[in-house]
Structures are given as C-alpha cells and as structure tokens.
Amino acid sequence: MTETTDVVALAPRPRSQFVATGFAVAAGSMMMAGAIGWYMARRHQVSSPGLHGNWVPEGVAIPTPQLDYALLTLLLSVVTAHWALYASRRSDRGNTWLAIATTIFLGLAFINMVMYSLNRMDLEIGSGEWANLAFAVTGLSLALAVVGLFYMGLMALRSLGGNMGRVGSAPLGAAVFFWDFVALAWAATWYAVYVVK
C-alpha cells in the first residue's frame, strides 16, 4: 500500500555512496596494516642481523616475474576502471561497458596469475611460519580483490540500468575508488611479502 501524489524524478544523493566507500577503504587499509604489520614485525625479528634467523624457508622459489606481471595487470585494470568512469560521466554507454568488461577481465586474470604463482611456489600452507603468514596476507589481499570485482560488477548493473552522466556515475565512481584501493593493497602485499621477503 502506498500513498501516491505526483510522480517526480528523484534527485541523486550527494555522494553518500562515495563517502561510505571511503570509510570502507579506511577500514580495509587498517585491516591490511594489521596483517602486513604483523608480517613485517615477525620478519624483522627473525631475520634481523643480530638473530641470524632464516625467514623464507630454503628451497622456496618465489615466482617473481609472474607476481610482477600480476601487479602490472592490476595496475592496467586501474587504468581501464578510470576509463570506464570517464566514459560513464560522458554518458558514453558503449565505452563504459567495454571498459568495465575489460576491467573485470583483467581483475580475473590478476587473481588467476596470483593463484598460479602460489601453486608454483610448491609451498604447503601450514609448513612454517613464513608460509602461514604469506598465505594469510596474500589471501586477505585476494579477498579484497574479489570483493572489489564484485562491487564493480554490481555497479556495472546499475550503469546498465541507466545510472550515467556526471551525477549518475557516482556509484561507479565509488566502485572505481575501491578498486584503486585494492590495487594499492596488493602493491603493499607484493612489496612486503614477495620483494622484501
């Protein structure tokens, strides 16, 4: 049951989704800080000069080129995501959809590459402290990527429904903002776990 008066088009909301996504990004950053901070602190303790410890187990070959390509793929997906936003703000439906589809494809390729790299390391989870920490931090980063892709997909649905133009692209803008954060989170993980090691 509803009370109906004149039908009016509703004005868009002032950046609510963007602000909420911003809060979520702040929360996600702190989550990664807790995990990467723990990793770096333990690494520092175990492998600092005074302790002469081994941090990365011997025999573990980290597939550096593959992980570098994964990062590049992700960075490229950030570019395509911003392309999607740019096109959406200009109500260019064709380019918007092409860019979103490319972003999602590149995102899936990134996840695939990271999973492949983890398999290539031939490291079993539970085999040691470094393994567990590396898997946990990497898994957290991948989980953020999955959430980011899903968010992008949902906002793509809204674009399909006509949310375009300078103001109507706010939801897609929020999703792109989150995707930027996902890239940053992975970059930090890649550097801490697979470069600094």
Partner 1 sequence: MIGIASRYFAGRVALVTAAAVVLGIATGMDGDGNVALYGVIVLGVAACAFALLAGLALSVGDDDSADRERHHRHPTTPAYWPLMSALGLGLLMVGLVLDGIFTIFGMALLIVAAVEWTGSAWADGLSSDLEANAVARDRLLAPFEVPLYGVLCIAVPVVLVSRVLLASSRNGASYIALAAGAMVIVIAFTFSAKPNLRRSIVATVLAAVAAVVIVGGIVSAAVGERDFHPLEEENESDEGHEEGAAALPDLSPSSEKAQLESLS
Partner 2 sequence: MSDITTEATDLSTTVPREDPTPFGWLNTADHKRIGRLFIGTSLMFLGLGLILDLLVRLDLTDDSDFVALDADTFGQLFVFGRESLVFLFLIPVFLGLAIYLVPLQVGASNLAFPRAGAAAFWGWLVSAGVFVGAYAGNGGPYGGWDDGVDLYMLALGGMVVSLLIGYIAVATTVLTERSPGMFLDRAAPFAWSTLVTASMLVVSLPVLLGQLVILYVDHRYGHVFLGGNFGIWGRIDWVVKTPTMFIYLVPVLGVAAEVVIATARRRVLEPLAMYFTIGLVGLFGFGAWMNFSITNEGSDLGDGFEGVVLVALYGGAALGATALVALLGFALFQSRKSLKLGGLNTSVLGVLGAGKFVVAAALYGLLGAGVDWLEIAGRGNDGNPYLRDTTWATGQQSILIYGAGLLGLVAALHWWAPKIWGRTLNDLLGKLTLLLIAVGATLASLGPALSGLLYDQPDLAYLDPAQTSLYAEAVDGGGAEAMAWLGTAGLLVVIAGALLFMLNLVVSLVLRNGTKADSDPWDGAAPEWMLDSPPRPGILDALPDLDSGTPLLDMAEAGGDEQDAAEEVKV
Asked if 57 interacts with partner 1 (CB under 8 A), we say no
Give the nearest distance from C-beta 14 to partner 2 in angstroms: 5
Q: Based on CB atoms, which residue is closest to partner 1, 15 or 82?
A: 15
Question: 123: left (phi > 0), else alpha (psi -120 to 50), else beta?
Answer: beta
Rounded Cα gap, residues 179 and 42, in angstroms: 29
183: which residues sit within 8 A by CB, 6+ positions away?
Answer: 74, 75, 77, 78
Please, what is the minimum distance in Å from the beta carbon of residue 143 to partner 1? 12
Q: Is the dihedral of CA 42, 43, 44, 45 positive or negative?
A: positive
Closest distance of CB 96 from partner 2, Å:
24
CB of 169 to partner 2, least distance (A): 17
Q: Which residues contact 69 (CB under 8 A, 6 or more apart)?
A: 113
Sign of CA dihedral 66, 69, 71, 73: negative
Nearer to partner 2, 8 or 65 (CB): 8
Report the Cα–Cα distance between both ends of the chain, in Å, rounded: 62
As measured in angstroms, the least distance from the Cβ of 110 to partner 2 is 20
State the binding partner of 125 from partner 2, partner 1, none, CB within 5 to 8 A by kind.
Answer: partner 2
| Positions 152 through 181 that interact with partner 1 (CB under 8 A) | 154-155, 157-158, 160-161, 163
Binding site for partner 1 (CB under 8 A): 2, 4-15, 18-19, 22-23, 25-26, 29-30, 32-34, 36-38, 40-41, 44-45, 48-50, 150, 154-155, 157-158, 160-161, 163
